[in-house]
Amino acid sequence: MKTFASRLVIGLFGAVVLFVLSSSAFGLKPFPRCGGTPYDPDWEGCCDGTIYGLDTEGCCDGTTYTVATHGCCNGIIYNSVTRMCVNGEVQNLPPRPRPATATPKPTATPRPAPTLGPSCGGTPYNTYVEGCCDGTIYSLATAGCCDGTTYQLAANGCCNGIIYNAVTRMCVNGEVQKLPPRPRPQLRATATAKPTATPKPAPTPGPSCGGTPYNPAVEGCCDGTIYSLATAGCCDGTTYKLATQGCCDGVIYNAVTRMCVNGEVQKLPPRARPATATPKPTATPTATPIPGPSCGGTPYNPDVEGCCDGTIYRLATAGCCDGTTYKLATQGCCDGTIYNRLTRCCSDGRVEGCLDDRCVETATQGCCRGTPYRKLTDGCCAGTTYKLAANGCCDGIIYNSMTRCCNDGTIVKCP
C-alpha cells in the first residue's frame, strides 16, 4: 500500500513538471501584473494598482469608475446621468422640456451596456484605418469627409465644406480658386511687362508665423517664413522646392541628381542603357517644348502629383519607395522596403517590430509611428501622441480642446 502511494505522488509531481516544461516550450508569456496580481490587458486594465474591466469600468486619475453611469472630466469623476463635461469642467445637464400633458412618471430603465469600440451608422469600424462621415464608413487611406460627404483624396480636396477638383483648383483662405497657369519655357529672352501688384487677401483669424497670419490647411511655417504645402517643404528652418529638391537629415539636396539613403546624400545610380547597338540618329528639328513635365509619356502636375518609375501618384496620399508607390496613411518606406507603419518601424534602414513588439495594438495600448501610448489617456495624431484630457486631433493637427473645436478639418473657436 505504501509503495502504491509513493508511486502516485511521484506521478503527480511528474505531471506538474511536464506541464511547466511544455508551457515554456510553447512560448506562453506570463500576464503583466497590477499591484502584484496578474491581469489580461486585452480585457482588463490597471488603475494605480487596481484591476478593472475595460468593458464596464474606466480609470480617472488613478481611480476606477463605472462607465455606464459616470464619466471622467479632466481627472474628476462625475455622474454622467445628471452632469456633463464641457471644456474640462463639470456642468449640470440642461433641463429636459416637460410634456404639455401630465404623464405618469416613467420608471427607471437600465442604461445600455457600452460597446467595445465606436460605430458608424450602427456598424462598428476601425478608427485607425477607417473614418465615419455622417453615417458612412470610408477608408482613411483613399477617401476623406467634407461636410458629411465622402470624396476621393487622389483627385479631390475639401475647402470650407466644399469638395473641389484638386488637379485644377486649390483652396486659399477657405475659398476655391483656379491653379495659376504654368510658366511656359522661353526659347529666347523676351522683354516682359512688370506685373501689376495684386492686393493681398484679408487675413483670417488663426495661427501666425513671424507675426503674419497663415492658413495651416494649405500653408506651413518654417522658422518665421510662410510657404505653400503644395509646392514647398521645411528642412531644419529653411524652405525648399518639392518639385526639384529634398531634405535629408536637415540637408537640402537636388532630388533630380541625388537621393537620401539612411540620412546621407548620395548620387543617383546611372540608368542602364540598351545592350544592342543602335545607329546614330540623324539630326531632327527641335520639337516645340511641351508645357510641364511628363511621367511615362503622360503630363502631370508636380505641385500635387509625383512620378514613380513611370507611375503618377498623389503627393498628399502616396509616396514612392524604390520605384513602387505606397499609401502614406498606413505604410512607410524603409531603405527601399515598404512596411506597415501602424505595427512596424524603421530603425537604421531595417524594418523591425514597433519598439521590439512592445506597441502591438491591444484594447488598451497603441502604436503611434513607433511610439507606444495608452489609449485610455493618450491619442495618436499624424504620428504624434497627445493627451486626450486637454487636446484633440483635427486633420492631423493637435489643438487645445479646452478652448478650440474641430469643424470639418478646421480648428475654430468653440461656440
pLDDT at 356: 44
pLDDT band for 415, please (50, 70, 90 cuts): confident
Stretch 335-355: mean pLDDT: 67
Choose the weakest-confidence range: 191-200, 232-241, 245-254: 191-200
Query: Does pLDDT of 296 surpass 80?
Result: yes
Among 25-29, 81-85, 392-396, top mean pLDDT goes to 392-396
Stretch 203-215: mean pLDDT: 75
Q: Beta partners for 380?
A: 385
pLDDT at 189: 41
pLDDT at 280: 54
pLDDT at 394: 92
- How much of the chain exceeds pLDDT 70, in percent? 70
- The angle at the Cα of 177, spanning 172 to 181, to the nearest 5 degrees, equals 110
Is 178 or 347 the better-scoring residue by pLDDT? Answer: 178
pLDDT band for 41, please (50, 70, 90 cuts): confident
Query: Does pLDDT of 43 surpass 90?
Result: no
Stretch 380-400: mean pLDDT: 89
pLDDT at 307: 95
pLDDT at 103: 53
User: Which three cell numbers mark 149?
Assistant: 460627404
Residue-wise pLDDT for 165-208, tens only, equals 887 788 888 888 887 775 544 544 444 445 555 555 454 456 88
pLDDT at 194: 53
User: Which three cell numbers mark 241?
Assistant: 522646392
pLDDT band for 29, please (50, 70, 90 cuts): low
Query: Does pLDDT of 18 surpass 60?
Result: no
Residue-wise pLDDT for 136-158, tens only, equals 898 888 888 988 888 888 778 88
Stretch 155-165: mean pLDDT: 83
pLDDT at 315: 92
Phi, psi of 113, deg, nearest 5? -65, 135
Stretch 74-80: mean pLDDT: 84
Stretch 339-343: mean pLDDT: 69
User: Which three cell numbers mark 180?
Assistant: 495659376
Stretch 297-313: mean pLDDT: 91
Concatenate the DSSP letters of all residues of 189-211 into one string. Answer: ----PPPPP-PPPPPPSS-EETT
Is 341 or 197 the better-scoring residue by pLDDT? Answer: 341
pLDDT at 281: 55
User: Are 178 and 190 in contact, with CB atoms under 8 Å apart?
Assistant: no
pLDDT band for 78, please (50, 70, 90 cuts): confident
Concatenate the DSSP letters of all residues of 47-68 into one string. Answer: ETTEEEETTTEEEETTEEEETT
Query: Does pLDDT of 239 surpass 60?
Result: yes
* % helix, strand, coil for the chain, step of 5: 5, 40, 50
Among 3-12, 174-183, 329-338, top mean pLDDT goes to 329-338
Query: Does pLDDT of 373 surpass 80?
Result: no
Residue 342 CB burial class (10 angstroms; 0-12, 13-18, ≥19): buried
Query: Does pLDDT of 74 surpass 70?
Result: yes
CA dihedral (86, 88, 93, 94) positive or negative: negative
d(CA 115, CA 133): 20
